[in-house]
Structure 1
Amino acid sequence: MDEKAIIAALSALAQESRLRVFRLLVIAGPAGLPAGQIAEELAVTPNTLSFHLSHLKNAGLVAVRRDGRSLIYSARYDQARGLVDYLTEKCCSRTPCCD
């Protein structure tokens, strides 16, 4: 991931509701969840959820697909791994601190 993508991802996750949505989608696995179920589980109004999902999607952290009349959202694990890898790629390169 390039630095602009990293900044966008961190910015999207730096908000309580978006972080909760992303974590719920990670728990849900690759099958994802319909928007209505996300709203229900997190007690968020649909229009507020739509706003947050849009931020996560624009940051590349969430994918969406249509299933009939439902929109199914899922975490983009490749992007999440890229973010973690970027943050830890030079871990302990100056001092030995971890394996």
Structure 2
Amino acid sequence: MGRAARHALGTLRTFVDDLRRGLEPDRPPRTASRLLVTEGSGYALRAAREDVDAWRFEEVVNGLGDAGSARDLERTTEALAWWRGRPSRTSATSEGCGRLGPG
């Protein structure tokens, strides 16, 4: 492995460590993460569907009827209120968000 690749790998690990601390701020140092785990040569997010706003939003959208009822409007408004910041450009599916790193 060349110098640039080692540097990139070190940078990635630093970002993953920071993300793990953000996801589990009460996790003691040097203990295994339960949410962002190392899996094979990459990382996997082990969050429940109800804990990820993008997945919850997707379920609401998939459950909407064709008629556009008042209940659909209420559920959509509630789901939109979950979002903070700018939306991701990637898909909000478990396939798009649940796996980080080479497949």
Per the TM superposition, whether the score is higher than 0.5 is: no
Q: Whose strand fraction is larger, Structure 1's or Structure 2's?
A: 1
Q: Please classify the TM superposition score into its range, dividing by the shorter chain length.
A: under 0.3
**Normalization by structure 2: what TM-score?**
0.27
TM-score normalised per structure 1: 0.28
